[in-house]
Structure 1
Amino acid sequence: MRRESEPRDTAGGGSGGTDIESDPVDARLGARLSELRAEHGWSLGEVAERSGVSRSTLSRAERAETSPTAALLNRLCAVYGRTMSQLLSEVESAPAQPVRAADQPVWHDAASGFRRRSVSPPLAGLRAEVVEGSLEPYADIAYDRPPVPGLEQHIWVLDGVLDLTVHSVTHRLATGDSLRFRLWGPTHFHCPGPEPVRYALVVVLP
């Protein structure tokens, strides 16, 4: 969405993002997060307790006063029982078929140096999503829990080198390498540099 210079991604009691001019995607995303909380009948305090994200950060994200990080969204997806692809597709306009490369929505987490392109056209009822991820040199991003336990993921490195930690084991994947796994616990993505890494990720709901 925007470029900034924060070195790492955090999702705990800190700001969860950066104070910048509100982005239309952030506004729609904040409104959707507020709707999800209301649908569950939860207060900000209850969501904070379930997610480990502070009330103030949740409130600012819902009001689009801060741009949420990928780690923060991952925690909220775990609380609301959906993948990040599902959440982001709910705030994107329904695309035409097919979706041209220039029209594929791109989400940028400037705090961690992570960029995510939604390759699959959003369509309710389907179980798989294809996304393209990229990390800047030496950037990393950590998820402390899966958005949906047992989520199946297939990763294929398109360019560069990626260190991916799954089930406490770190795999170094170079261009053309792939890995398939079910996600039950934390994961960590790291670009060891000196070049950025770009990869395709297939996410399949259990």
Structure 2
Amino acid sequence: MREAGDPHSVDARLAVRLGLLRTEHGWSLDELSRRTGVSRSTLSRLERGELSPTTTVLGQLCAAYGLTMSHLLMEVEAEPPQLVPAARQRVWRDERSGFVRRSVSPPHAGLRAEIVEGTLDAGADISYENAPVPGVEQHIWVLEGTVEITVDETVYTVCEGDCLRFRLRGPSHFRCPGPQRVHYALTIVLP
């Protein structure tokens, strides 16, 4: 986790939305902690905007709420336009894990697919305990480098130019073995 900053930032709006989601579900902090494995004190600090979530924690929260990470991030941003200029594509960074996520084609009402650009630093290792939406379809096309992706207990080594496609129903794991970072495009299609 990292300390949160600007009160008008995406992180600040995310903190408010996380608190609202918990309230909408009628869950206490203890119940959400039980469902996610994230400590009650961390959840409280996230909702107060004192911390910004890591990729792993955000993934755990999304799984508990049945949302993709992209959908949750879309909820804290303005309605995306039909044309998304490169300069307006939202970028989210998790400095601790070395993950950078650019929402190239963000979720939009009436559309089922989105495109995300991701980079993982060499040595980065990220686990997601559950699928954010069971049965979500994912296509990961590696543009540069290599990434090891574990889906349904099978480890796939995906190299430059390769595309891994699957329906996600459980946990997944991404690891960049190096020596260079991995740069990939991810297409997400809701069931």
Question: TM-score if structure 2 supplies the norm length?
Answer: 0.94
What is the root-mean-square deviation of aligned Cα atoms in Å?
1.4
Q: Which runs of 4+ in 1 moved over 6 A?
A: none
- Asked whether the 8 Å contact 2:138–2:167 carries over to 1, the reply is yes
Which whole-Å CA distance do the structure 1 matches of 2:82 and 2:132 have between them? 28
- Confirm or deny that 1:115 pairs with 2:100: yes
Which whole-Å CA distance do the structure 2 matches of 1:56 and 1:165 have between them? 30
**What is aligned with 1:103?**
88
- Confirm or deny that 1:198 pairs with 2:183: yes
Question: TM-score if structure 1 supplies the norm length?
Answer: 0.87
Percent identity, aligned pairs only, is 61
**What is aligned with 1:21?**
5
For structure 1, the residue ranges without an aligned partner over 5 or more in a row are: 1-16
Deviation at 1:52, TM superposition (A): 1.4
- Confirm or deny that 1:37 pairs with 2:22: yes
What are the superposed Cα offsets for residues 126-152 of structure 1, whole Å, 9 maximum, x if unpaired? Answer: 221110111011111111111111111
**What is aligned with 1:88?**
73
- Confirm or deny that 1:151 pairs with 2:167: no
For structure 2, the residue ranges without an aligned partner over 5 or more in a row are: none
Give the letter for the 2:161 counterpart.
Answer: G
Describe the SS at the equivalent of 2:161. Answer: coil
Which whole-Å CA distance do the structure 2 matches of 1:82 and 1:189 have between them? 19
Aligned residue pairs: how many?
A: 190
